[in-house]
């Protein structure tokens, strides 16, 4: 009865056009006007920036902060440059890929000869297939640096190999094509062809667009540090180098080749000081991190020799360098952290002819390392080495000369055989960690797993973007 009466009661008031619905509508309309006004004010105050999805897989992203003291002013966004290597632990990261000597003997270059080895148009040799497998690792880094062991001939030759090298200049062309941005060339063979050989190498690398340091055409160039902008925007890398030996030869001028002579040499201290001075100049020119490459001369050792240890430790003690790495022994050598500085003693050979001499088998192997620096661009003291990924490599793949990774994931299949690959991978691993390198920082490079993780992150980012309507 009461329910029915209530229905009747409300029906009667509806028939008489009760003012309540009109009041409700007015309140709703007023609310919409207020909400719209607040929205417009927010756009004017904060620039209307929408939230970004978490877990972005991009190499460079932006974040913003809003200060209560901004007084209505737009706060500039902070750009993050995580680079191409994974797991950047700070605002910015730079990853540098380095590997050992480009060591060419006739038994290697003859496999890549063109129809006319006297051609002067760049077709005498084609070394692209030799380097091609390296490309995917270079693309997973920010800056790739090669080590030119020897001078190069003029185009068309004549060429020569051990003991006085004069190798085909098409090697430099292949280095460009695979993606090296820079090369060092202070080695025990730098003076094999005198000043002319240095000039040819310098001019060819320059023509190929490859930055360089180590041996010089002019005295002015010898005092200039090499500073490289990371293409992913993370900061700038300074690169210094030096060799302990010129195989008993003497350059016309001491400035023509960067040196790091042993402690018994009267020029030792000046060599160290020159390297430190160039490192300081690099930082003055904006370098966030500085690396130095040491070229040794004792060969086929699976440990660091006395010069390597003393020289690296002395360089580390200066505090001028963020990382020290080396080549020249034609063998893989340990990684060490000394006085808060990481040292990669020996990277072996990147590419070379196969040695069948007993005891020299390490010549046929090498290590490619990706060194990741993390910090804040332009902020001195914020940078450190956050990870080192090492990759064991072979100089052949299934009987053909190819740079070939022998890592656990075997991205290119077997290089020699499954058993030989595993034997050498394990041997190199034992050498790498023989000085107690922290496995939390120093990892074997598993590119397959890394690429899978990036793909998953990209897919998650796409899904989040779809959900948020971006």
Buried b (16+ CB within 10 A) or exposed e, 255-265: bbbbbbbeeee
Could you give the CA distance from residue 166 to residue 89 in angstroms, rounded to a whole number?
44
pLDDT on residue 58: 43
Query: Which of 126, 101, 114 minimizes the C-alpha distance to 190?
Result: 101
The two most distant CA atoms of the chain are separated, in Å, by: 119
pLDDT, tens only, 210-231: 999 999 999 999 999 999 999 9
What is the rounded average pLDDT of the residues 113-126?
A: 98
pLDDT on residue 247: 98
pLDDT on residue 458: 81
pLDDT band at 40 (very low <50, low <70, confident <90, very high): very low
pLDDT on residue 61: 59
Q: Answer yes or no: is pLDDT of 47 > 60.
A: no
Q: Answer yes or no: is pLDDT of 145 > 50.
A: yes
Query: Which of 396, 391, 395 minimizes the C-alpha distance to 408?
Result: 391
pLDDT on residue 105: 98
pLDDT on residue 45: 36
What share of the chain in percent tops pLDDT 90? 79
pLDDT on residue 79: 86
pLDDT band at 238 (very low <50, low <70, confident <90, very high): very high
* Domain 92-453, CATH class in plain words: alpha beta
pLDDT band at 13 (very low <50, low <70, confident <90, very high): very low
What is the rounded average pLDDT of the residues 241-259?
A: 98
1 vs 125, which has greater pLDDT? 125
pLDDT, tens only, 390-399: 999 999 999 9
pLDDT, tens only, 279-302: 999 999 999 999 999 999 999 999
pLDDT, tens only, 327-354: 999 999 999 999 999 999 999 999 999 9
Q: Answer yes or no: is pLDDT of 55 > 50.
A: no
pLDDT, tens only, 349-394: 999 999 999 999 999 999 999 999 999 999 999 999 999 999 999 9
Could you give the CA distance from residue 371 to residue 94 in angstroms, rounded to a whole number?
8
SS3 labels along the chain:
CHHHHHHHHHHHHHHCCCCHHHHHHHHHHHHHHHHHHHHHHHHHHHCCCCCCCCCCCCCEEEECCCCHHHCCCCCCCEEEECCCCCCCCCCEEEEEEEEEEECCCHHHHHHHECCCCCCCCCCCECCHHHHHHHHHHHHCCCEEEEEECCCECCCCCCCECCCCCEECCHHHHHHHHHCCCEEECCCCCCCCCHHHHHHHHHHHHHHCCCEEECECCCHHHHCCCEEEECCCCCCEEEEEEEECCCCCCCCCCHHHECECCCCCCCCHHHHHHHHHHHHHHHHHCCCCEEEEEEECCCCCCCCCCHHHHHHHHHHHHCCCCCEEEEECCCCECCEEEECCEEEECCEEEEECCCCCCCCCHHHHEEEEEEEEEEECCCCCCCCEEEEEEEEEEEEEECCEEEEEECCCCCCCCCCCCHHHHHHHHHHHHHHHCCCCCCCCCEEECCHHHHHHHHHHHHHHHHHHHHHHCC
What is the rounded average pLDDT of the residues 100-110?
A: 98
pLDDT on residue 29: 45
Q: What is the mean pLDDT of the chain?
A: 87
pLDDT on residue 53: 29
pLDDT band at 113 (very low <50, low <70, confident <90, very high): very high
Strands 226-229 vs 78-81: parallel, antiparallel or unpaired: unpaired
pLDDT band at 148 (very low <50, low <70, confident <90, very high): very high
Per-domain boundaries in the chain: 92-453
pLDDT on residue 465: 76
pLDDT band at 461 (very low <50, low <70, confident <90, very high): confident
Contact yes or no for 293/240 (Cβ under 8 A): yes
42 vs 300, which has greater pLDDT? 300
pLDDT, tens only, 417-447: 999 999 999 999 999 999 999 999 999 999 9
């Amino acid at each position: 009865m009461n329910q029915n009466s209530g229905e009747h009661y409300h029906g009667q008031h509806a028939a008489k056009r009760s003012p309540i619905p009109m009041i409700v509508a007015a309140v709703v309309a007023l609310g919409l006007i207020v909400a719209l006004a607040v929205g417009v004010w927010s756009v004017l105050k904060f620039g209307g920036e929408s939230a970004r999805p978490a877990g972005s897989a991009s190499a460079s992203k932006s974040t913003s902060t809003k200060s209560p003291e901004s007084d209505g002013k737009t706060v500039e966004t902070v750009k993050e440059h995580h680079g191409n290597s994974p797991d950047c632990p700070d605002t910015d990261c730079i990853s540098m890929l380095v590997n050992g000597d480009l060591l060419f003997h006739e038994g290697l270059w003859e496999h890549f000869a063109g129809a006319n080895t006297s051609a002067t148009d760049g077709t005498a040799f084609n070394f692209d297939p030799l380097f091609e497998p390296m490309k995917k690792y270079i693309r997973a880094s920010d800056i790739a640096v090669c080590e030119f062991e020897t001078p190069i001939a003029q185009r068309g030759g004549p060429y020569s190999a051990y003991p006085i090298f004069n190798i085909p200049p098409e090697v430099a062309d292949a280095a460009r094509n695979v993606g090296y941005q820079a090369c060092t060339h202070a080695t025990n063979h730098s003076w094999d062809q005198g000043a002319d050989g240095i000039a040819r190498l310098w001019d060819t690398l320059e023509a190929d667009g490859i930055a360089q340091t180590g041996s010089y055409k002019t005295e002015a160039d010898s005092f200039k540090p090499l500073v490289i902008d990371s293409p992913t925007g993370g900061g700038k890398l300074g690169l210094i180098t030096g060799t302990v030996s010129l195989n008993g030869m003497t350059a016309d001028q001491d400035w023509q080749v960067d040196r790091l002579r042993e402690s018994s040499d009267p020029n030792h201290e000046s060599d160290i000081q020159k390297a430190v001075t160039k490192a300081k100049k690099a930082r003055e020119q904006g370098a966030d991190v500085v690396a130095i490459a040491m070229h040794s001369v004792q060969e086929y050792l699976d440990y660091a020799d006395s010069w390597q240890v003393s020289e690296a430790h002395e360089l580390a003690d200066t505090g001028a360098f963020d990382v020290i790495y080396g080549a020249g022994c034609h063998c893989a050598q340990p990684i060490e952290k000394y006085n808060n500085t990481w040292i990669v003693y020996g990277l072996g050979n990147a590419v070379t002819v196969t040695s069948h001499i007993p005891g020299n088998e390490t010549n046929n192997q090498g290590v490619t390392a990706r060194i990741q620096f993390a910090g804040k661009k332009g902020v001195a003291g914020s940078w450190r080495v956050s990870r080192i990924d090492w990759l064991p490599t072979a100089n052949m793949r299934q009987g053909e000369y190819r740079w070939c990774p022998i890592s656990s994931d075997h991205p290119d299949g077997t290089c020699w055989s499954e058993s030989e690959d595993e034997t050498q991978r394990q041997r190199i691993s034992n050498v790498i960690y023989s000085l107690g390198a922290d496995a939390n920082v120093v990892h074997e490079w598993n590119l397959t797993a890394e690429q899978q993780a990036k793909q998953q992150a990209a897919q998650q980012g796409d899904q989040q973007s779809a959900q948020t309507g971006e």
